[in-house]
Amino acid sequence: MEHIATHNRKLIFTPAIRIFHWLRALAILVLVITGFYISWPFLVAPESSDVLVQGWIRFAHIVFGFLLTSITLVRFYLYFFSRNNIERKSFKDVLSFNSWIVQLKSYIWMGNLHKAGVYGPLQFMTYVAISFVALIVCITGLVLYANVYHLGVGGLLGGVSDWLTALCGGLANLRTFHHYLTWAFIIFVVIHVYMAVWSGIRFKHNSVDSIVSGYDYHKDHK
């Protein structure tokens, strides 16, 4: 017996978007945990001082910090220059007042969510905001790095990082800003995960799964 497909399938997330999404998720998770340790070392002292507990945790923080920095830069590039224009198309919705109303109403259970690209306007602006927060957290992180590691990349960033340190009024302030921004990620992640799950259920399409498989399934519209 032949099956007739009840849903249309459409590739919305390119492999690059998906891979970077999950790498970024991993980086944020590791950075938040190790960052809180660096802020307030909560683990007990090791048996021997040959075991560099703080040293290894700081190492992980730096490695994943560079990962997040790279992804942040690549994602900025991809938004503008990716051959797939699914993200760029969303910008049309941002400029349309009507689109904002449609999205906000759909979130309070009034009507469906129609959008030109893959993101609604509020969603799009939230992602833009978190991308800029990521940019600032990476820059402050690099300045902190350059103040500790003076060779290689640290040495290369030396001049700029001195200027930024002075701009912030010292390393202490800079670090305080770096710490505050952590909370933007934590709060973002909670809302992001909820909205992804909720919109899949509410609007009856593939949602959480899309960022793994890349496909969205729609019943009616293509």
Partner 1 sequence: MDTHAALYKQGQERLDYLRQFAQRQPKSLQQKMADIGISRRDFIKWTASVTAMFALPLPFSNLVAEAAELADRVPLIWLHLAECTGCSESLIRTDSPNLDSLIFDHISLEYHETLMAAAGWQAEENLEHALETYKGRYLLAVEGAVPTANNGAYLTVGCKGHTGLHIVKEAAENAAAIISVGTCAAFGGVQAAAPNPTGAKGVHEVVNKTVINLGGCPPSEKNIVGTLMYFIMFGKLPALDMFNRPKWAYGARVHDNCERRGRFDAGEFVEEFGDEGAKEGYCLYKVGCKGPYTYNNCPTERFNHHTSWPVLAGHGCMGCSEPNFWDDMADFEKPLGRQLLHGIDATADTIGAVILGATVVGIGAHAVASVFAKPLEE
Please give the residue ranges that form the binding site for partner 1 (CB under 8 A): 39-41, 43, 45-46, 49-55, 57, 109, 112, 147-148, 162-163, 165-166, 169-173, 175-176, 179-180, 182-183, 186-187, 190-191, 194, 198, 201-204, 219
Of 114, 134, 115, 109, give the one whose Cα is nearest residue 189. Answer: 134
Contact between 165 and 177 under an 8 Å Cβ cutoff? The reply is no
Please give the torsion angle defined by the CA atoms of residues 7, 12, 14 and 19, in that order, rounded to the nearest 10 degrees.
Answer: -90
Element (DSSP H or E) covering residue 132: helix 121-148
30 vs 57, beta carbon nearer partner 1: 57
- For residues 85 and 170, which CB has a smaller minimum distance to partner 1 in the complex? 170
Minimum distance from CB of 148 to partner 1 (Å)? 8
216 by DSSP, 3-state: which?
A: strand
Which lies closer to partner 1 via its Cβ, residue 148 or residue 212?
A: 148
Give the nearest distance from C-beta 84 to partner 1 in angstroms.
28
Give the residue with the Cβ less far from partner 1, 77 or 163.
Answer: 163
Q: What are 11's strand-pairing partners?
A: 215
CB of 132 to partner 1, least distance (A): 19
Q: How far is the CB of 96 from partner 1 (least distance, A)?
A: 22
Q: How far is the CB of 144 from partner 1 (least distance, A)?
A: 9
Nearer to partner 1, 24 or 58 (CB): 58
Residue closest to 118 by CA, chosen among 217, 12, 220, 196: 12
Q: Which amino acid is at 144?
A: L
Q: Which residues pair with 9 in a beta bridge?
A: 217
Separation of alpha carbons 78 and 125, rounded Å: 17
